[in-house]
Amino acid sequence: MTIARRSLLVFAAALAASPAMAQSTPSDAKVAIHGYDAVAYFTLGRPEQGNPSTSYQWDGRRYLFMNEGHRELFARDPEKYAPQFAGLCSAGMSAGKKIEADPKNWIISDGRLFLFSGATGPEQARNDPTLLRRANANWIKQH
C-alpha cells in the first residue's frame, strides 16, 4: 500500500469518527425539547427555537440549533448540553413520573440543564436541594 493511499485511509477513518460527523444526518427521529436549541440555555441564558436545517441526531432524538456554532458545540459534548432525563420534567421524575416538560421552564444546576412541566418547577428545585437528587435516583432506577 502506498503512503498516499494509507494517508487517505487514515484521514477517512478519522473523519468518519469525528464527533461533528457522528449521527449528524437529519432523520425522522423525534425532535428534542420541542425544537429549542439546547446550547442556547448555556450560551444565551434563555431558551431559543432552533432551526430544522441545523440539526444533530443523538440518543434517538433530533436536536435543532440556532446556528452551526451551537450545533458544533453540542456535537463535541452532547451530554453537557442535552437536558437531563431525556427532556422530561425533573419535578415529575423526582416523584418517579415521566411527564413531558415545557422547555420554557428550566434551570441549569451543577452545569446540567433541567426542564420542568410548570412555571413553578425551577423555583421548587432551587428551594428543595433534594428534588434533583431524587429525580436522578428515579431516572437511574427506571433506566
pLDDT digit string, tens, across residues 65-115: 999 999 999 999 999 999 999 999 999 999 999 999 999 999 999 999 999
Per-residue CA distances from 12 to 20, 64, 76 (Å) = 14, 27, 19
Confidence of residue 7 (pLDDT cuts 50, 70, 90): very low
Residue 55 confidence (pLDDT) = 98
Residue 12 confidence (pLDDT) = 40
Confidence of residue 143 (pLDDT cuts 50, 70, 90): confident
Is the predicted pLDDT of residue 6 greater than 50, yes or no?
Answer: no
* Residue (of 100, 118, 116) closest to 108 by Cα position: 116
pLDDT digit string, tens, across residues 28-78: 789 999 999 999 999 999 999 999 999 999 999 999 999 999 999 999 999
Residue pair 85/96 in contact (Cβ under 8 Å)? The answer is no
Residue 32 confidence (pLDDT) = 98
Tell me how far apart the alpha carbons of residues 41 and 8 are, in angstroms, rounded to a whole number.
39
